[in-house]
Structure 1
Amino acid sequence: MTTAHTYGQLTYPEISAQADALAAALKQLEVQKDWVDRFIGNPAFDEIIFIGSGSSYYQAQTMAATYKKWVGRPASAHPSSEIYLFRDAATVPGRQYLLVGVSRSGESTEVILALESVKDVPGWTTCGITCHEDSKMAQLAECLVSPLGKEKSTVMTKSLSSMTFMMQAASALASGKADLFAEAAKVVQADAAVVQAADPFAKTFVQNHELHKFVYLGMGSYYGLSQEACLKIKEMSYVWTESFGTLEFRHGPKSIVEPGTLVCLLLSETARSYELKVAEEMKEYGATVLIVTARKGDDTAFADAVFETGGADWSDESRGVLYLPVLQYIGFYTALKKNVDPDHPRNLTQVVKI
């Protein structure tokens, strides 16, 4: 039986170790460059479909958004179960599809079923990304492997950060744009300092605010990250939380905002002025506003707290992985504040099997 003083002994070091996991992922990608050429960089495919379940689905959304913008070719993200059970609603006949399974363990039943379901279907090719090179998924399909992404905790932290980063770096290679791949190296160099700063920032933020609702907002490649941030705090601490596209939140859902509501904005540079208008409006309704951004400025001064990652001159997509540590630490410290063990969330297991 765990006790309060032992809570988080798995999760905390895994969040804190993600800079090393990113560095190892980039090094491994150099070894697996041919994977890029044969799979996501191969122009023979009409569409790339990234699939996963839970956190893996949310990172698949970020992977697909990044791929479309950088490579300029069709890509989409679906829950694994949609491809297994409703493939005809997600795809159309006559196209060449590359199905990319996303799974930390490589053992999730739904991703395995999805990959197996298209094994003998004309026009379908499979591959994947995982942290476990000996997993069933890695046996079914050739996978990129994040070697230091393996985790003992139930919730995904460094595994998600490293796999998201690795697939984005692979997309940069597939694009043929050297400046995008150079940004991957810059992210690795910056991540350790961001993780170090995120820890005390998140701890202080959680200690200083009494919150009962959590809302995460993001657009573009940050929408998947906002969903992941929502899930992370829900898994760790069981709080009521939702995620929305930033501007979509104004169309009805903002009615939930009241004092005690956190509105956390994952701020892009692409839509900065529009997104900040939404956050300012929520502040007027009584929300506690937290902004995660590349750069502070006079335009963010209204917020209750601002976490700055740097890298404002990089693409939004590259910088997104730097937003994850503070979001993960907020989930972690919220759990401790509620006297909940983030290592062992109720009703959850590390691998979901049917």
Structure 2
Amino acid sequence: MTSIPAQEDGGATILEIGQQPDAWREVAGRTDEDAARFLDELVARPDLRIILTGAGSSAFAGEIAAPALRRHLNRRVEAIPTTDIVAGPMNFLERETPTLMVSFGRSGNSPESLATTALADELVDEVWHLVLTCDREGKLGQAHAGRANSLVVFMPERTNDVGFAMTSSLTSMLLSCLLLLGPASPRDADALAAAAQHVVDLQPDIRALAQTKKQRFVYLGSGPLEGLSRESALKLLELTAGEVVTYFDSPLGFRHGPKSVLDADTLVVVYVSTDPHTRLYDLDIIAEIRGQLGQDAVTVLSTEPIPAKYGPAVVLSGLAGLDDALVALPYLVFAQYLALFTSLEYRKTPDNPFPSGEVSRVVKGVTIHPMTGGAAHA
């Protein structure tokens, strides 16, 4: 059994980040004919709506995956957080629309996760559930196990992260979703794992970046990579216990006011798209911010070298032709390490950045209120 490093050396979190290449290969190596049959029959329906849901990082997994699934399946695919559905179910659930609800949940014990699937069962005439979770003892997996309209897929046991921040749990669930419903293949997963291993090997460089101890971090990406940017910002905010300011946006959206956040103590991370058209806008914002703040103010991640006039980039090769939703996986490993090493620079305890319990690993204290009579039968 691997011993857990001391908190000042990264704790369980550094192990859970580093295990992702092997975990992804394990996820991709599994075959489940019953699962394939269950999903193939559903997605063959032209009227099917797919909702990707979860809370926090699990919700952002849906934001990353949704555009790729929409294009791949030619179906209506929407990422809607459980927190939104629980607060206003009638805004999002449609009784007469056949719906596949894909639920992401590390433990499956968040109150909103259980409430969302229960609301869907109550308010949608034809509903099916795909539950992606890491905890075989979790309430969500147990609630849907053995149900005719549900499929529960468990991630490898080691991905049930014990650290505060979701790392290997998140990426494993995201990859599983893209393998089951989207454009990913086991061969793609192997390429992604190789790229992620390259990021693992870059730890000294990422640690040096964290040692600049910036006070503001901005993450920019388009389409699926905007969801990645949002998750990156949350990861850093969590692991530094809110001591640094984080922000996310798309490269184009950032210019419309949010660019005001930039100052000399800001690090901007730009995730470059694999789409040639989208990539042009990424390069534009890189040139603009480097022109304003200097070359070192921007860290660029790309799957291919960028033109020399735009400055240096961290290049993750071997990913040519892959969708941005897939490329987001090794990009995210970089973001996780940057968050972890920044947390250590600020002398936090990464496995539990909130030792006094202000924020917990599984959300507590949420009251699930029953639907009012009129709304429940609308």
Q: Same fold (TM over 0.5)?
A: yes
Q: Distance in 2 between matches of 1:93 and 1:117?
A: 11
Give the secondary structure class of the aligned counterpart of 2:325. Answer: helix
CA contact under 8 A between 1:226 and 1:244: conserved in structure 2? yes
1:242 aligned residue: 247
The structure 1 residue matched to 2:135, chosen from 126, 132, 137, is 132
Q: Distance in 2 between matches of 1:72 and 1:186?
A: 26
Which shows bigger deviation, 240-249 or 61-70?
61-70
Match of 1:339 in 2: 347
Query: 1:138/1:158 Cα in 2 relative to 1: closer, same or farther (>3 Å)?
Result: same
1:87 corresponds in structure 2 to 89
Cross-structure match for 1:104: 106
Q: Tell me the TM-score normalised to structure 2 length.
A: 0.84
Question: SS state of the match for residue 293, structure 2?
Answer: coil
- Residue 81 of structure 1 and its aligned partner are, at CA, apart by 2.1
**Counterpart residue number, 1:171:** 181
**1:279 alignment counterpart:** 286
SS of residue in 2 equivalent to 1:118: helix
Residue equivalent to 2:35:
35
* Separation of aligned partners in 2, 1:51 and 1:186: 26
Q: How many residue pairs are counted as aligned between the two chains? A: 341
Taking the aligned partners of 2:142 and 2:336, their CA distance within structure 1 comes to: 31
Aligned to 2:218: 215
Q: CA RMSD in A?
A: 2.1
- Give the superposition deviation at 1:215: 0.5
Partner of 2:115: 113
Deviation at 1:184?
2.5
Query: Helix, strand or coil: the match of 1:313?
Result: coil
Partner Cα separation in structure 2 for residue 5 and residue 100 of structure 1: 34
Q: Deviations over 1:126-180 (max 9, x none)?
A: 22101112321112223222113111101011111111111111123xx6xxxx4
Give the whole-Å Cα distance in 1 for the aligned partners of 2:24 and 2:119.
32
1:307 and 2:314 correspond: yes
Using the alignment, how far apart are the partners of 2:238 and 2:90 within structure 1? 32
Contact 2:193–2:330, Cα closer than 8 Å, also in 1: no
Structure 1 residues 299 and 112: alpha-carbon distance in aligned structure 2, compared to 1, 3 A threshold:
farther
What secondary structure does 2:333 align onto? helix
How has the CA–CA distance of structure 1 residues 183 and 224 changed in structure 2, closer, same or farther, with 3 Å as cutoff? farther
Identity %: 26
Distance 2:281 2:170 in 1: 28
The answer to whether the aligner puts 1:19 opposite 2:21 as a matched pair is: yes
Query: Could you give the per-residue CA deviations for residues 199-226 of structure 1, whole angstroms, max 9, x where no partner exists?
Result: 222112222x341111101111111111
Seen in structure 2, the aligned counterparts of structure 1 residues 60 and 246 have a Cα distance that, compared at 3 Å, is same
Q: Which residue of 2 aligns with 1:298?
A: 307
Partners of 1:42 and 1:53 in 2: CA distance: 24
Does the CA contact (< 8 Å) of 1:187 and 1:322 recur in 2?
Answer: no
Given the alignment, which residue of 326, 349, 354 partners 2:360? Answer: 349
Q: Equivalents in 2 of 1:9, 1:69: separation in Å?
A: 39
Cα distance, 1:100 vs. partner?
1.2
Shift of 1:192: 5.1
Cα distance change of structure 1 residues 252 and 338 upon mapping to structure 2, 3 Å threshold? same
Structure 1 residues 345 and 124, CA gap change in structure 2 (3 angstroms): same
Larger of the two Rg values belongs to structure:
2
**Which of 204, 223, 228 does residue 200 from structure 1 map onto?**
204
The unaligned stretches of length 5 or more in structure 2 are 145-150, 367-378
| 1:263 to partner: Cα distance | 1.1
2:227 aligns with: 224
Which runs of 5 or more structure 1 residues have no equivalent in the other structure?
Answer: none
Distance 1:54 1:189, change over 3 A: closer
Is contact 1:169-1:184 (8 Å) kept? no
What one-letter code is carried by the residue in structure 2 that aligns with 1:341?
T
Amino acid at match of 1:319: V
Q: Distance in 1 between matches of 2:6 and 2:263?
A: 31
Shift of 1:266: 0.9
With normalisation by structure 1, the TM-score equals: 0.90
CA distance in 2, matches of 1:339, 1:91: 44
